[in-house]
Amino acid sequence: MTRIKYIFGLLLALALTSCGCSSAKKGVVQYRAEVVAEYPHDPSSYTQGLFFHEGELYESVGQYNESAMRKMDLATGRSLRTVSLGAGVFAEGSVILDSTLYILTWQNGQVFLCDPVSFAVRERVAYPREGWGLTTDGEQLIASDGTDVLYFMDRDLKVRREVHVTRDGKKQPLLNELEYIDGKVWANVYTYDDILIINPDDGVVEGVVDCAGLLKPRDRDLRTDVLNGIAVHDGKVYVTGKYWKKLFEIQIKEK
């Protein structure tokens, strides 16, 4: 009987190791977002993509009849350059990789490849899925489509790898705006105040940043929508939301 118990225990230990349960026991680290600084943000912006490039802040704006690409002044929240993307376009995530500005569309089935300075559209490339979030690790594009999948694409938008994102072992859908920070993918979860910190190798959510309460009631009105927009510059993380009046520099603290 003792031998049977020993063998059973050994087999159980091996099974736990092989299935990765030991890492699962570590759990998801819970963080809270603390405001370091706040800046004005255009409340007419239905924020889709938010990123810095060469020290400048860029924002893609969604909604039909409102979709546009903007270069923003962080200090004032004013647009330094705005280019409309057309009444029939619903713009989504955006990013600059090398000398190309990529702008996803939601259900238009296209990605706009633009000049990063003028925002002039050089080419429209067919896209086989919904466009949601977009970022880059400097070598490839990383996109979301509102499901639990992250798509790793080359500069020609060809998918080289797909990763299914899991949180506590369960699929995590509604991945939206993305940012690549210190080797991890940060992702907004659509309609939630959480930002996920995702391991890009296996899709495991390693951390959750609670951003509830960042935007105070006095800064809200009937049009104020959900948290969306993550950007990083010089190690500083910035977040905002759709039709928000504020953009925040945050730091995260473990709960």
Q: In whole angstroms, give the CA distance from residue 158 to residue 169.
A: 28
Q: How confident is the model at residue 246 (pLDDT cuts 50, 70, 90)?
A: very high
Domains of the chain are: 27-254 (2.120.10.30)
C-alpha 202 chain-centroid distance: 17
**Other C-beta atoms within 10 Å of 11: how many?**
10
Q: How confident is the model at residue 13 (pLDDT cuts 50, 70, 90)?
A: very low
pLDDT digits (tens, 9 = 90+) for 138-158: 999 999 999 999 999 999 999
Name the percent of the chain lying above pLDDT 90. Answer: 89
What residue has token string 């080289």?
160
pLDDT digits (tens, 9 = 90+) for 162-197: 999 999 999 999 999 999 999 999 999 999 999 999
Cα Dmax for the chain = 77
pTM of the predicted structure, to 2 decimals? 0.89
Number of helices (H), then strands (E), in the chain: 2, 22
pLDDT digits (tens, 9 = 90+) for 79-128: 999 999 999 999 999 999 999 999 999 999 999 999 999 999 999 999 99
Cβ(174)–Cβ(189) under 8 Å? Answer: yes
